[in-house]
Amino acid sequence: MQSKMRNLILAVLTVSMLLSLAACGEKNQQDGDQEVNTPQTTRADTNEINVGIPQDLEDSLDPHVTTAAGTREVLFNVFEGLMKADPEGNIIPAVAEKCDVSDDAKVYTFTLREGVTFHNGQTVTVDDVVYSISRCAGMLDDGIYTAASTLKGIVSVEAPDDRTVVITLSEGNTEFLASLVTTYAAIIPADYTEQATQPVGTGPFKFASRSPQENFVIERFDSYWGTPAKLDKVTYLVTAMDTAVMSMKSGVIDVFAHLTADMAKSVEDQFTIEKDTAKLVQALYLNNAVEPFNDVRVRQALCYAVDVDQIIDLVVDGNGVRVGSSMFPAFGKYFDESLSTYYTHDVEKAQELLTEAGYPDGFSMTITVPSNYPQHVQTGEVIAEQLKAVGIMAQIEQVDWNQTWLTEVYANRNFQSTVVGFDTSTLTARGMLERWTSDHGKNMINFNSAEYDELFRQAIACTDDGEQTALYKQMERILTEEAANVYIQDIYNMVAVNPGLEGLTFYPMYVLDVATISWKEA
């Protein structure tokens, strides 16, 4: 009798242990819910929404410093540059009212908009603009290294009067305005030192609070110069991808971007799923400096061995587009469709190339993947399986995004291969292509091609748009021919939106604009 009872208890305990594993994540969300919600009122009543983000904003809140795409996606709503992008990808004035460009594209004269104020109440002056541009261009000796290297060609930033700012470049650059739309070139108050923790900008939303690993709260900025945001408050909830579906189903989250195909399917009965390409290039990025990837034949063999169509089918359920080079289809002008099918799945050809390169029986390699991005993890898994066909044994190493990937892989280049997506915040091909020039600080893959570097020099010096586009396309072709990386796809960005909301707008950049979102009239 006694032993039967004990068996029963034992069985219950075993099951509950398993369940508790699955339930840990859920509990956190409930805690978060109580914090942002009073029980009786809905978020529609208080005119606020909760947006789920898969990772915390950990690197820095300083727009000139932060590099993580996920952070910039959020900060886009807090900061603005002199210019900004509209949903079609056109560059329109923001903090500046207008801009005159000299004929040789060397001198840019900006007239400041009147009545633009910072979130701290101060009016934006030419001093702030001069400070901001000098700072993000790395001209101040304060150790700020901005990721937007397109700003590096600036010779001087001057303010001849209190409404005009003149930026002079070392050489003509027709794309300069495009590099000003990013958060990298955000206008911030001069000599404000708390930017990394208490960001102050000019955007439609102002920073309210942040609780690490929990949430990031922004509120509508009432003195915004342009169309005011429709929502009063937006709370970004840090929600691990594996618990996101539960949080969405329980109604804690109203908007969640970058859904996997599985997640989209799980929530499509409760949410509207909006789709657009994510404007990023997902690839198996190869460290071109380490064995065996320093041999172009090995890299090409990988390109032949990997079946991109199967990845698109299995990992994203068909919600992806082949890319073929470091350019995504949304950049229609620069995208070269023919490159996307340059390598077709061909195991025999891969085998031949490997034999030529001295690896007839394949080799072992490690694919490092950030564990918080299931799409990248799963892509790695599929690639590992596909590579077996040519004898390559790929071991997958899941790492933490902040602790390991950003430092070890991205900064220290201590990796063999990794699956991630690269985006650009500038609206030109330069943002995607410059990082692979041989001496670039963020050339994580150690790509080294003199021809590529030379083409890039020509492209940025070029003032003729058509010619420049052709040069960029040549660079893309080199990346493909040299098999710099195993290019995979641009994944559709699937956003789950609470059906009670409207106004979600997509941009040709990796951002989520919450200023246009509003609750539908009841």
Q: Is the Cβ of residue 156 or residue 395 nearer to another protein in the bound state?
A: 395
Radius of gyration of the chain (CA): 24
Contacts of 451 (CB under 8 A, 6+ apart): 478
Q: Is the Cβ of residue 93 or residue 251 nearer to another protein in the bound state?
A: 251
Q: Choose which of 29, 149, 195, 266 interacts with another protein (CB under 8 A).
A: 266
* Residue 22 binding another protein, by CB under 8 A: yes
Q: Choose which of 1, 5, 17, 522 interacts with another protein (CB under 8 A).
A: 17
Q: Is the Cβ of residue 78 or residue 252 nearer to another protein in the bound state?
A: 252
> How many whole angstroms separate alpha carbon 183 and alpha carbon 202?
11
Full DSSP string of 174-225: TTHHHHTSSGGG----TT---TTTS---SSSEEEEEEETTTEEEEEE-TT-S
Q: Choose which of 56, 73, 80, 381 interacts with another protein (CB under 8 A).
A: 381
* Residue 168 binding another protein, by CB under 8 A: no
> How many whole angstroms separate alpha carbon 238 and alpha carbon 508?
24
Q: Is the Cβ of residue 298 or residue 399 nearer to another protein in the bound state?
A: 399
Q: Choose which of 274, 276, 336, 397 interacts with another protein (CB under 8 A).
A: 397
Q: Is the Cβ of residue 44 or residue 240 nearer to another protein in the bound state?
A: 240
> Residues 127, 118: contact at Cβ < 8 Å?
no
> How many whole angstroms separate alpha carbon 153 and alpha carbon 228?
34
SS3 of residue 477 by DSSP: helix
> How many whole angstroms separate alpha carbon 338 and alpha carbon 481?
12
Q: Choose which of 1, 5, 21, 450 interacts with another protein (CB under 8 A).
A: 21
Q: Is the Cβ of residue 13 or residue 461 nearer to another protein in the bound state?
A: 13
- φ and ψ at 175, to 5 degrees? -95, 5
Count, residues near another protein per rule CB under 8 A: 42
Q: Choose which of 314, 443, 469, 503 interacts with another protein (CB under 8 A).
A: 314
Q: Is the Cβ of residue 52 or residue 374 nearer to another protein in the bound state?
A: 374
Q: Choose which of 33, 274, 295, 317 interacts with another protein (CB under 8 A).
A: 317
> How many whole angstroms separate alpha carbon 512 and alpha carbon 509?
9
> Residues 243, 374: contact at Cβ < 8 Å?
no
- Candidates 34-42, 203-211, 378-386, 499-507: pick the segment binding another protein (CB under 8 A): 378-386
SS3 of residue 59 by DSSP: coil
SS3 of residue 29 by DSSP: helix
Q: Is the Cβ of residue 11 or residue 461 nearer to another protein in the bound state?
A: 11
Taken in order 184, 99, 165, 456, is the CA torsion positive or negative? positive
C-beta of 92: minimal distance to another protein in Å?
39
The two structure tokens encoding residue 509 = 């950049």
Residues 212 to 251 in contact with another protein, rule: CB under 8 A: 241-243, 245, 249
First to last CA, the chain: 61
* Residue 445 binding another protein, by CB under 8 A: no
- Candidates 8-16, 119-127, 416-424, 458-466: pick the segment binding another protein (CB under 8 A): 8-16
Q: Is the Cβ of residue 50 or residue 386 nearer to another protein in the bound state?
A: 386
* Residue 490 binding another protein, by CB under 8 A: no
- Candidates 190-198, 211-219, 322-330, 377-385: pick the segment binding another protein (CB under 8 A): 377-385
Angle at 447 between CA 445 and CA 450, to 5 degrees: 165
The residues that touch another protein, with contacts defined as CB under 8 A, are: 3, 6-7, 10-11, 14-15, 17-18, 21-22, 241-243, 245, 249, 260-263, 265-266, 310, 313-314, 317, 371, 374, 377-378, 380-382, 384-386, 388, 394-398
